[in-house]
Amino acid sequence: MAENNQGTTPVDRLRASVEGRVLVPGDADFEQACKVYLGGMDQRPDVVVQPADAADVARVVAIARDSGVPFGVKSGGHSPWALTNGGIVLHLASLRELDIDPESRTAWAGAGLTAGEFTKAAHEHGLALGFGDTPSVGLGGITVGGGVGYLYRRDGLTIDHLLAAEIVTADGQVRVVDADNDPDLFWAIRGGGGNFGVLTRMKYRLHELSTVYAGLLVLPATPETIAGYSKLSLEAPRALTSIVNMFAAPEMPFIPEDKVGTPVMLTMFVYAGEGEAAEQALAPFRNLAEPYADMIEQIPFPNIYEEEEDDWLPIAAARNLFMDDIDLADAEIMLERLAASTADMAAVQIRPLGGGVAADVAEDATAYGHRGRNFMLNLASIYSDLENADTHAAWVDDFTVTLQKGVPGVYVNFLEDDSAARIGEAYSEQTWARLRSVKQTYDPGNLFRVNNNIPPSGDN
């Protein structure tokens, strides 16, 4: 059993108590269980537990609480901040229950399932729910933060369709929470992140959807196309959601040879529908400039997810922010900063919001903040020259401050190593105070702190 400055990790007690798997360094699946989306993460726990069910989770929570060792919770997907140095990591990928009721259009899903797995299963019934923009993201992790995927302009956030959840709190209780049972806790887990317990199952409301008009539209990135896209995206019908990534074009089959190295916009459009309405919704974007490539077509909804490289673990400095408008001057700044980066790849991602995110749910109905903001941005500097890590971090920090224009804001699921400094930006002052109060009620000892942490109100 390994030692650390907070106590001894009780590996033998875990083995004697849980029905699931208990992995330690040297076990065949230990390294895979410690794998997260980002590269450069070298934390290693003493033990990883893959629980058999919620009762197992409750046992692990009690043991972690009693032992005082570091305790992280890793969902089924990216989980970049779930690892600990020493201590225990609870790995939920083993919780894979899925029960879809086509008649009521609801589903109970285990927290260890991924967005891609759930989407394929729901599609067999002609149903869908928006999660993230990659198939490998875990349902538990994305849900507690909010959930911004390819249907949010039509349907809102993932949490807007969370009907109930099974959660293990710090006292070791297994609770089923909803609008009538532990309503404050149910409010908090819809946007407050993994601060209040371990979600083991979630009940979702689903929507009828089989095919979408979707795919990549590749345009030159100029101040005019960036500002034009931003304006059009907010004017578009709610059925149309898009996410654009801008960077210097690498060599790709659909990029003209003479355009390699020039700024491009790779925009993924998803229109929840088909026919003439879909064509009309996309026409203004196609007219912004002569496309380098137009891959938009009618496809089954699960096909929105592209295949991912399992072995690619990017090392990146990244920041998230919100903006209310993006004009020509903003677009010029984006292009100037991209050109000035010394990273292997520098990128700006824009997610136009509005639609169901802003219109369908009251600002205080969930813990998610910033429903009224128009754009969510991610700035990334992907690099391999580790000796210049501080330079790349400074690039994204300065870029963020410039674009925010003094109006801070961040999406809790996209916080990076700036988490401790910026967690308060994810919420309004009133929401922050309420979240800390709920934390004080359900986790006064801050057991769940290896995350984007919200301290209990009793902490100074």
CA distance 156 to 171: 33
Fill in the amino acid letter for 289.
A
CA distance 445 to 252: 51
Evaluate whether 322 touches 352 at the Cβ level (below 8 Å).
no
Distance of CA 45 to the CA centre of its chain: 23
Distance of CA 114 to the CA centre of its chain: 12
CA distance 67 to 43: 20
pLDDT in 10s for each residue of the chain, 460 residues: 343 445 689 999 999 999 999 999 999 999 888 887 666 667 889 999 999 999 999 999 999 999 999 999 998 766 677 889 999 999 999 999 999 999 999 999 999 999 999 999 999 999 999 998 999 899 999 999 999 999 999 999 999 999 999 999 999 999 999 999 999 999 999 999 999 999 999 999 999 999 999 999 999 999 999 999 999 999 999 999 999 999 999 999 999 999 999 999 999 999 999 999 999 999 999 999 999 999 999 999 999 998 766 666 678 899 999 999 999 999 999 999 999 999 999 999 999 999 999 999 999 999 999 999 999 999 999 998 889 999 999 999 999 999 999 899 999 999 988 999 999 999 999 999 999 999 999 999 999 999 999 999 988 6
Identical fold at 98-208+437-442 and 211-420? no
Evaluate whether 145 touches 411 at the Cβ level (below 8 Å).
yes
Distance of CA 167 to the CA centre of its chain: 19
Number of residues assigned to the chain:
460
Structure tokens at 266: 């790779």
CA distance 155 to 148: 10
CA distance 444 to 455: 8
Beta bridge partners of 162: 204
First-to-final CA distance of the chain: 34
Fill in the amino acid letter for 394.
A
Which residues have a Cβ under 8 Å from the Cβ of 242 and sit 6 or more positions away?
233, 236, 267, 268, 269, 270, 285, 352
- Burial of residue 143, with CB atoms counted within 10 A of its CB: 0-12 exposed, 13-18 middle, 19 or more buried: buried
The model's pTM = 0.95
CATH code, residues 211-420: 3.40.462.20
Evaluate whether 213 touches 154 at the Cβ level (below 8 Å).
no
Q: What is the DSSP code (8-state) at residue 306?
A: P
From the candidate CATH numbers 3.40.50.300, 3.30.2420.10, 3.30.43.10, 3.40.50.150, the one assigned to the domain spanning 3-94: 3.30.43.10
CA distance 190 to 212: 27
Write down the domain spans for the chain.
Answer: 3-94, 98-208+437-442, 211-420
Q: How many CB atoms lie within 10 A of CB 106?
A: 17
Structure tokens at 212: 């979408």
Maximum pairwise Cα distance, the chain: 65
Residue 112 vs residues 52, 53, 90, 97, 361: alpha-carbon distances, Å: 11, 11, 11, 8, 27
Residue 224 vs residues 330, 341, 378: alpha-carbon distances, Å: 11, 22, 20
Fold of 98-208+437-442: 3.30.465
- Region of 24 (left: φ > 0; alpha: ψ -120 to 50; beta: rest) is beta
Evaluate whether 83 touches 142 at the Cβ level (below 8 Å).
no
pLDDT at 3: 37
Closest of 452, 427, 438 to residue 364, by C-alpha: 427
Beta bridge partners of 319: 379
Structure tokens at 188: 């908090």
CA distance 445 to 138: 26
CA distance 305 to 316: 22
